Structures are given as C-alpha cells and as structure tokens.
Amino acid sequence: MRIESLNEEHAHLFRNIRLQAFREAPEVFGSSYEEELKLSEDKIAQKYAALFTSYEDNFILGAFDEADCLIGVAGFYREPRAKNRHKAVIWGMYVVPESRNQGIAKLLLQVILERARRLQDIRQINLAVTSGNTFAKRLYLSMGFQVYGVEEDALQVNGQFLDEDLMVLRLDK
C-alpha cells in the first residue's frame, strides 16, 4: 500500500470513491450522493483544483492498494484568511469497507499530521465527526484530538437530524 497526494489525473477515482462513501455512509458527510452525482468529472476537477495541485497547505491524500486501486482518502486545507491561517481542517476521511481494520485511516491521518507539522505557524487542526461515529472518534482521540464542542442538528439525513462533535488537535502544546 502507498499514500500519495491526489492530482487532476485522479479526479475520476476521487469522484468514484466519494460517490461510494456518500451512498454507503450518508450520515457521515456533509455532501450527498445526489449532489455529487450531478457533478461531471470536469466539475469535480474544477471544484477540487486547488487541492489537486498538491500545495503544501491544501491537499487530498489517497491510499492505494497493491493493485493500484484507490481504497482510502482524506483531505486537508489550511484556512486562507490572514487571521485564521494558524488553523487547518481535515475533511472527507473515508476507507472502502473491504479495506477497513487494516490501519489505513490511521496511516492517512499520520501522513496528514506529519505534513501539517512541517507547515509554518499552524497551531491547530480542526475536524467534525458525526457524534454517533464511535470508530472515527476513537481514532481521532487516539491521535490526540479532543472534543471541544457539539453542533446539534449539524446534518439532516433522510429526515433525521445528527449532531457533530467538533474536535481539535493543538500543535502548539
């Protein structure tokens, strides 16, 4: 298995894994299968262009298996405004079901954190996780993230409202 930054050439793979994620786990993501399905590969490439360019501050990582299949993804972006540039966000973490429980999510997170720690002036990394997603929360807690708040009714999925735990990893401590 290898971890690498995704680029424009990976747009179709990224779109496919996102569609799978939204279909399989709609309660975990802010976007929906139906919304993403409407986007062409060109629109996906355009939407994520800044992330696909693999800048240090903004990137999408992909985990590839031995057969070169994309089996996991996670995104990272640094807040662009001057007053918020000390913060970054992890988003879109997903591993395909048949590749779970092999440490792939943890490896993706470790690579993101290694890259983030090399960035100048990053003091904290934020993420949001559906409150009922105990596996993901356990992983984030094991990596040093802490819950600092809960957004009630953060997502509405199939008429049901879901809370999100807001988590932070402080790099300055």
Token representation of residue 56? 């240090």
- Angle formed at CA 168 by CA 164 and CA 169, multiple of 5 degrees: 145
Find out whether 129 and 137 touch, Cβ atoms under 8 Å. yes
| 12-26, 48-62, 82-96: least confidently modelled range | 48-62
Question: What's the total number of domains in the chain?
Answer: 1
Residue 48 belongs to domain spanning: 2-170
Q: Is the per-residue pLDDT at 162 higher than 80?
A: yes
Tens digits of residue pLDDT in 10-46: 888 998 999 999 999 988 888 888 888 887 777 776 7
CATH number at residue 71: 3.40.630.30
User: pTM of the prediction?
Assistant: 0.90
The whole-number pLDDT of residue 27 equals: 87
Q: Is the per-residue pLDDT at 51 higher than 70?
A: no
What's at 82, amino acid-wise? A
What are the strands of the beta sheet with 2-5, ordered from one edge? 2-5, 58-64, 70-78, 87-95, 124-130, 160-170, 146-157
Phi, then psi, of 32 in degrees rounded to 5: -120, 160
Mean pLDDT (whole number) for 147-157:
95
